[in-house]
Amino acid sequence: MDFDGTHDARGTHARPVPRPATPPPPAGPPPVPQPSHAAPALPPMPTAPPAPEQAPARPATVAEWLDTPRPAAAPGIFRYGYREPRPDKDPERLSPVTLVGVAVPLVVALLLWSLWRHGSIPYQWVLLKLFTPGDWWWAGTTSPKTFEGQEAIEVYNGVFFGVLVYAMGRLGSWPDIVRHVVTRRPQPARALLAALGALAVLSFVFPDAFPGVGWDALPVVDPLFSLVVLLTGGYEVFRSVLLTDCLYGLITLLVLWPFARIGGWWRYARERLAARSGQGTGGVPDQAPAPVQRPAAQWPELRDAGQHQAADLLSGEVHGGRMTDVDCARVRRAWDTARYDATRLARFTETVLRQGAAAWLHPSGARDLPARTARHDVLDGQVRIGRWTDRDRTPTPYRGAGAALDPDALATSLLAVGPSGSGKTQHLVRPVVESLALRALTGGCAVVAVCAAGTPLGPDGSFDVVVRIGDPASVHDLDPYAESEDPEEAAAFLAEGLVGDLGAVDTRRAATALAQLLGPYRAVHGRFPTLPVLRELLEGDEAGLGALREALAGSGGPGHAVMRRELEARIRQATSPADPAPALADRLALLDRPAFAEFFGAGSGTRPFSLRAVAHHPLRVRVELPEHGHEDASRLLVRLLLAQFTSVVRAGERQHFACLVLDDATGAVTADSVRRIQRLRAQNAGVVLALRTVGDIPEALHGPLYGAVGCRMAFSGVTTWDGSRFAQAWGTEWVETRDVAKHTVFADQPMTRAIHALRKLVTGKAVTTDAVTIRKVERERWSASELAHEVPAGHAVLSVATVRGEHAPPLLVDLRG
C-alpha cells in the first residue's frame, strides 16, 4: 500500500530516501513462533512508551495506554487521561446587603404580626368595622356578637397575613436568595430543593398532617373556610365531604404553585416524558440501541467496518506486547487513509495480515526513538511540556491540566522568547523535536531541527539525517540549492539567505543578479555552480565569465541565446553603483572558508542532502551549525534553510506535516520570511522560532512577526521591552474591578455627634462609611511588567492557536510540572 511516501520516493528525486545517521540497533532475541496466518514474528518491543522522570505513572501495557480515554478538550490541553476540573462549588457568594435585605423584612414582619395578634396596632379594626354590618358587634367594641363577626375576624386576620407576606417578599431580597439557592442549580437538584421548600411550608399550613409537629397553623385554611361560611350564611355547607376536600385541594395547589415555578417542575416533567416517549408502544424502541463501546485495544473501528480478521490480528499484537505506541499510531493513520476507499481498504487488510505490527514501517526501520525525555501521546500527536497553573486568571478547564503542543498548533508557527538559561531548549525545543520525530515514524510528519553543534536535541539514532556543517566526520552535506532545477527559485532563496538581513540591498535585485549567473551556468554545465565558483562569477572574474559566454555562443542548444543575453546583462550591470553582486560575494566569502571546503557540493566524500526531501518523505533531520568563529556564517545558513523550507513546502500536495525548528533564530527573520511564514498554515507546515530577545530582529518586523505566528511563548526573565511586544500581541480583556472608598460621616444632630465623638475616643478612628464602586474596565491580559517580574523561574506564559481557528488565552505554564 502506498502510504505517504514511506516506501517509495515521491516527486522527481534522483536520490533515494536517506538512511539513518547511525547504524540500526542490534536485533533482539529470536522471535516467538507464530501461527501460519499471523504476521511475521518481531523482536520483543517495550510494552509501553518510556516516560520522563517527572511524569506521573504510566500504564503498564500498550493496551492500557490505548484504552485510556482522550476526551475532547480546549487547545493546549494534554488530552491523554484528561479530566476536566470541577468548578468551584459556590463561586457566587451572597453579598452582606442581600442577607440584610432578607433579615430586616423578616424581623419587621414578625414584629408586625406579633403586634397584630395582640391588637396593639392603632386603628387596627377600623377597616373591619367599616366593611361589616354593625349588628355583628357589640356596641362600641370589636367583640363579635354573632358567629358572622367571629368568622369576619378570621378572614380579616388572613387578609392581613397575606398582605404582610406579599410585602415582605417584594420589599426584601427573597428573589435573590431563591435564585442563589434554588433556580440556578441544574435539574433535578432544582426541583428537589423546591419540593423540600414546599413540604416545609405545607407543614406550617397543615401541621396536623405531619406527625411530631406541634406549632399552630398559619392563617390560611381557617380564613378560607370562614369566608365560605360568610358567603353561604351557615355551616351546613361543610356537611359535604366533597366540598371540604376540594377546598383542601385548592389550598394545597395554591401553596405548591409558586414552588412549582421556582423548581421548574413542569418543564422538567415534560423533558422526562419526552425522554420516555422515545420508546414506542409495545415495548419496541423507535431508535436502535446504542452500540456497545469496545476498548480501543480491540480496534473497534476495524470491526465496525467488517475487518474482523485484521482487528483480531492487531488485538493479539497489542495484548501480546509486540506492538508499541508508535506502531498503533502508524496503523491507525493508515486506516484513516484507507477506510473510505474500497481499493485501499483491501490493500490495508492484506498488508496488516501479512506484516502485522510492522506494517507501513518507516524507511529507517525504526519503531521508536532511542530515548525520550518528555511525555508523549503519539496517538494524538501531543507532547506534554508542562502544567497549567491553578490561578485566578486560569479558566477552569485548564487548571492543573497538562500543557501540550501538537501539529494543529505548530502549523500556525510558534515564537518563543527567553534569555539564555530560561529553558527554551530543554523544555520546549527538545520535547517538540522528539514529538515530531515520533510522528515521523508514523509517516505523519517531517521535521528539520537546526541547532548549534553540541545542542542536546537527542542522540543521532533519533534522526535519519544528521548534517554537521564544518565537521569533516559528517556523513551528509547540505545542498545550497535544495535540489532545485529552476534558476529563479534557487536564486530567490539564495539571495534571501545571503543578503536578506541587509536593508541597503534589495533582495529582488540580488535574486535577479544571481539568476543571471545561475541560469547560463546550468545551461552550459547541466548543474549549478559550487559556491566558490559562484563567488568568482559575482566578483566579475573575466576568465570565468568569458569562458561561460564563449560556451553559450558556441553551442546551439535551445534557450542558449536567451541565457547569453542574461549573462551579458549581468556583465553590463557589474559596473553599476547599485549592483548587489559585491554584497553577495562578500556574504559568500563567509561560506568559502577552509572549514567548509568539503561542504555545499564541493566535496566528494559526503552524501548531499536536499531540504526538498522533507516535502516528499517523513524524514527526521538535524542540522548542526558551527558557531565558534563562524557566527555570521551560521546566521546566514539559518536564513538560507528558512528560505529553502518555506519554498519547498509549497510544491505539490503533501499529506504529512512539515516543521522547521530553529533553536536560535537570531538573524533569520526578514521581511520576506515573515510573509512566507504567514502562508505556512495553509500549506500544512510550520516553524518554531526560539529567540533570546526580540531585539535580535529588526524593530520594524516586531509587529508583523507577532502577527504571523499563532502560538507565542514568553519565558521567565524576559525584559520589559520584550514583554511589551507580547502585551501588545495578546491584547486586552474586560475585567470587573471593585473600588472601596471610605468617607467620613459628618453628623447634624447633637446626639449623633456625641455618639461619634465617643466612638472616636474609644477606637481612635473617625466614623466612616464605605462607598463601593463595581465597574468593568479594559486591562491587558499580561502587562510588560508582569511578564518581566512576576513569571517565576521554570515557568512561561503560553498562548495557543490552531489552524481551525481555536485559541487559548495566554496562561502561565509550570514547565517543571
Q: pLDDT value at position 15? A: 41
Same domain, 771 and 640: no
Other beta carbons less than 10 A from residue 401's beta carbon: 23
Listed residues 702, 724, 746: the one ending a domain: 724
Which residue in this structure is represented by grid cell 430586616? 104
63: in domain: no
Compute the C-alpha angle 570/487/639, nearest 5°: 95
Q: pLDDT value at position 121? A: 79
Specify the 3-state DSSP secondary structure of 652.
coil
Which residue in this structure is represented by grid cell 517509495? 8
Listed residues 311, 331, 358: the one ending a domain: 358
Same domain, 178 and 256: yes
760: in domain: yes
Q: How far is residue 276's CA from residue 280's CA, in Å, rounded to a whole number? A: 9
Residues sharing a CB contact under 8 Å with residue 792, sequence separation 6 or more, in sequence order? 716
Same domain, 647 and 682: yes
In terms of residue numbers, what domain contains 784? 729-814
52: in domain: no
Name the DSSP class of 48. S
Q: How far is residue 323's CA from residue 359's CA, in Å, rounded to a whole number? A: 11
Q: How far is CA 134 from the centre of its chain?
A: 81
Among residues 210, 184, 180, which one has the least CA distance to residue 198? 210
Amino acid at 661: V
Same domain, 474 and 486: no
Same domain, 469 and 387: yes
Q: How far is residue 52's CA from residue 69's CA, in Å, rounded to a whole number? A: 21
HSE-CB at 21 with a 13 A cutoff on CA atoms is: 23
420: in domain: yes
The answer to whether 213 touches 207, Cβ cutoff 8 Å, is yes
Q: How far is residue 462's CA from residue 438's CA, in Å, rounded to a whole number? A: 9
Same domain, 144 and 243: yes
Q: pLDDT value at position 736? A: 76
Q: pLDDT value at position 291? A: 54
Other beta carbons less than 10 A from residue 209's beta carbon: 11
Q: pLDDT value at position 39? A: 34
Residue 491, H or E segment: helix 487-499
Same domain, 469 and 511: no
**In angstroms, how far apart are the furthest CA atoms of the chain?**
144
Number of structural domains found in the chain: 5
Q: pLDDT value at position 604? A: 65
Buried b (16+ CB within 10 A) or exposed e, 647-672: bbbeeeebebbbbbbbbbbbbbbbbb
C-alpha cell at 455: 545542542
224: in domain: yes
Q: pLDDT value at position 32? A: 32
Q: How far is residue 593's CA from residue 591's CA, in Å, rounded to a whole number? A: 5
DSSP one-letter string for 700-749: GGHHHHHHH-SEEEEETT--HHHHHHHHHHH-EEEEEEEEEEEEE----S
Cis status of the peptide bond prior to 188, with omega within 30 of 0: yes
183: in domain: yes
Would you report the helix, strand and coil content of the chain in percent, each value rounded to 5?
A: 45, 15, 40
Cross-strand partners of 468: 624
695: in domain: yes
DSSP one-letter string for 147-204: HHHHHHHHHHHHHHHHHHHHHHHHHSSHHHHHIIIIITSPTTHHHHHHHHHHHHHHHH
Same domain, 116 and 229: yes
Specify the 3-state DSSP secondary structure of 451.
strand
pTM of the predicted structure, to 2 decimals: 0.72
Q: pLDDT value at position 76? A: 93
Listed residues 666, 700, 724: the one ending a domain: 724
Question: Which CATH number is 370's domain given?
Answer: 3.40.50.300
The answer to whether 693 touches 419, Cβ cutoff 8 Å, is yes
Cross-strand partners of 808: 800
Among residues 618, 463, 624, which one has the least CA distance to residue 22? 463
Q: How far is residue 777's CA from residue 468's CA, in Å, rounded to a whole number? A: 54
Please give the average pLDDT of every successive group of 10 residues along the chain, which has 817 residues: 40 40 39 34 39 45 89 92 74 64 78 81 78 75 75 81 80 74 80 84 80 77 78 76 82 84 82 70 47 78 87 89 90 89 88 89 90 91 93 88 93 94 92 94 93 89 90 87 89 90 86 90 87 88 84 72 85 84 89 83 74 91 86 90 91 85 91 91 92 90 92 94 92 80 75 76 74 81 92 94 92 91
**157, 205, 233, 248, 614 from 225: Cα distances, Å:** 13, 13, 12, 10, 92
Same domain, 715 and 738: no
Same domain, 228 and 106: yes
Specify the 3-state DSSP secondary structure of 255.
helix
Same domain, 352 and 378: no
783: in domain: yes
Same domain, 127 and 258: yes
Q: How far is residue 701's CA from residue 415's CA, in Å, rounded to a whole number? A: 13
Q: How far is residue 5's CA from residue 17's CA, in Å, rounded to a whole number? A: 9
Q: pLDDT value at position 659? A: 94
